[in-house]
Amino acid sequence: MKIVVTIKLVPNPNAEKRIDPQTKRLVRTGVETVLNPYDEYALEAALQLKERAGGDATVTIFSMAPDSLKEGLRRALAMGADDAVVLSDEALEGSDVSATAFAMAAALKTLKFDLLVVGGLTDDSSTGAVPGALAEHLGLPCITNARKVEIKGDAIEVERETDSGYQMVHGPLPALLTTALTFGEPRYASLKGIMGAKKKSIASISLQDLSLDHPVGTSGSKTELRSFAPPPVRGKGQVVEASDGLSGAQAIFDFLAVKRLV
């Protein structure tokens, strides 16, 4: 079984993001690039499925990223993925979600797989639209938010979380899968994994390797970013020291009453 996992490299979600008031751009200094957290969960799921399948099952990472960032994928290889393919091209810069999904799909068509595992959201742009868009471009069943997966021959059985409960779903392979966080915490890379990852292949492909019938990058985008700004500053509010339960409760109650919230 061949599994492909898509991974996006994003600014560390746990770092406070700041916009430079002069340049109006995100301050990248001191903010490291990491694997998109949802994609780590997708990778964990893929690795578990690989282990269960045994034999010659493989996990390949696919990422669309600038060439300068691709070494960031070593971490995914250290966790246990077998190899990585990166779509890098300067012409991709400025791609919006539709152009991004189009380019990713074109590259994924060149990889043969039984299962495509995609993170449910990205931490930076968080459109959540890429899984559905990829499924549509690739003509795959789109089974999202899976918490349990069984591969049975050329079929997949999934227990997936919904907004109000869960569903049991089945479909044929190849399929696209996104995973819920309850599938399992992403594993830590072992020392052996980290050493082994240094020897694993990160292949690069460019737009020249794909014959696209549609522009990408800014000119292939359907949306235009007009402006961006930090949100209104939320100042530090009142601080009240409560000596006992009632005085603390009264302070909150009075505060809410003034704001007509109680």
Residue numbers 173-192 binding other proteins by CB under 8 A: 175, 180-182
- Residue 252 as a binder of other proteins (CB under 8 A): the answer is yes
CA dist list (Å): 4 to 57, 71, 72: 11, 18, 17
Interaction residues for other proteins, span 205-244 (CB under 8 A): 221-231, 234, 236-244
Token pair belonging to 125: 């742009």
- Is residue 135 within 8 Å of 176, Cβ to Cβ? yes
Least Å distance between CB 84 and other proteins? 23
Among 53, 66, 171, 218, binds other proteins (CB under 8 A): 171
Q: If you ran DSSP here, which 8-state letter would residue 91 be given?
A: G
Q: If you ran DSSP here, which 8-state letter would residue 231 be given?
A: P
Among 103, 133, 189, 197, binds other proteins (CB under 8 A): 133
Residue 46: name the closest of 195, 184, 182, 170 by CA: 184
Interaction residues for other proteins, span 97-116 (CB under 8 A): 97-98, 101
Cα torsion 87, 92, 97, 99 to 10°: value is -100
- Residue 69 as a binder of other proteins (CB under 8 A): the answer is no
Among 110, 126, 190, 201, binds other proteins (CB under 8 A): 126
Least Å distance between CB 92 and other proteins? 17
Query: What is the rounded distance in angstroms from the CA atom of residue 116 to the CA atom of residue 134?
Result: 10
- Residue 23 as a binder of other proteins (CB under 8 A): the answer is no
Nearer to other proteins, 55 or 237 (CB): 237
Query: What is the rounded distance in angstroms from the CA atom of residue 90 to the CA atom of residue 18?
Result: 25
Least Å distance between CB 134 and other proteins? 8
Nearer to other proteins, 171 or 196 (CB): 171
Distance of CA 83 to the CA centre of its chain: 18
Least Å distance between CB 2 and other proteins? 19
Query: What is the rounded distance in angstroms from the CA atom of residue 223 to the CA atom of residue 225?
Result: 7
Q: If you ran DSSP here, which 8-state letter would residue 64 be given?
A: E
Find the part of the chain contacting other proteins (CB under 8 A) among 52-60, 82-90, 131-139, 200-208. Answer: 131-139
- Residue 29 as a binder of other proteins (CB under 8 A): the answer is no
- Residue 123 as a binder of other proteins (CB under 8 A): the answer is yes
